[in-house]
A and B are shown apart, each in its own frame.
Chain A
Amino acid sequence: NAGVTQTPKFQVLKTGQSMTLQCAQDMNHEYMSWYRQDPGMGLRLIHYSVGAGITDQGEVPNGYNVSRSTTEDFPLRLLSAAPSQTSVYFCASSGGSSEQFFGPGTRLTVL
């Protein structure tokens, strides 16, 4: 099992550009989540999904969109990148035991 995979590892965008951060898991987990990590602020929940076709907002959803068309994939879309979205993004999945398994992260810089 590869676990939770994220691509790309690094990305630099200009303000206003759009992009999609990819996340996939091969553990057949029902729950998936996106977090952002900023210095001194821990991890904050952006969006989460409790199953294919079902998503909901977390603590900091503004500027991000998600969809969950399959159990395996949970992409995060930035429609118009802003410097405030410079961060490290982590995807996680859970099989329902509350324990989350994290991907390696994507480091995003918005200029």
Chain B
Amino acid sequence: AQSVTQPDIHITVSEGASLELRCNYSYGATPYLFWYVQSPGQGLQLLLKYFSGDTLVQGIKGFEAEFKRSQSSFNLRKPSVHWSDAAEYFCAVGASRGEKLTFGTGTRLTIIP
């Protein structure tokens, strides 16, 4: 069965500091990996996705993620966070067709001035 683990429930970062959110997955075949962001009271917005090819993928809002097959990880990074990055972040894994995703439990990001 597929699963996603986000070990950090809540992270606090100073504005301008770097960020790394962790994601580990378990999947029997080639994984399709995603990071979504959710602002309070809002829906989910796709930040980036990995299907194949280059293991470092670039997304919107200055985010990037690196796929490491040997570690079953897909960590999200940003070199310098902005106050507007405060939100909840979800890692997800799915199959090639797209009818369903398995989500992690999310990481809530707080930005302090």
Asked whether A48 and B105 contact (CB < 8 A) given A42-B90, A99-B46, A103-B43, the answer is: no
Chain B residues contacting A50 (CB-CB under 8 Å) are 97, 99
Give the tally of cross-chain contacts (CB within 8 A): 70
User: Does A100 sit at the interface, judged by CB under 8 A?
Assistant: yes
Chain B residues contacting A33 (CB-CB under 8 Å) are 99-101
Chain A residues contacting B49 (CB-CB under 8 Å) are 98-99
- Interface of chain B residues 86 through 100 with chain A (CB within 8 A): 90, 92, 94-100
User: Does A75 sit at the interface, judged by CB under 8 A?
Assistant: no
Q: Which residues of A contact B (CB under 8 A)?
A: 31-33, 35, 40-45, 48-50, 58, 90, 92, 94-105
Q: Which residues of B contact A (CB under 8 A)?
A: 4, 9, 32, 34, 36, 42-44, 46, 49, 51, 90, 92, 94-106
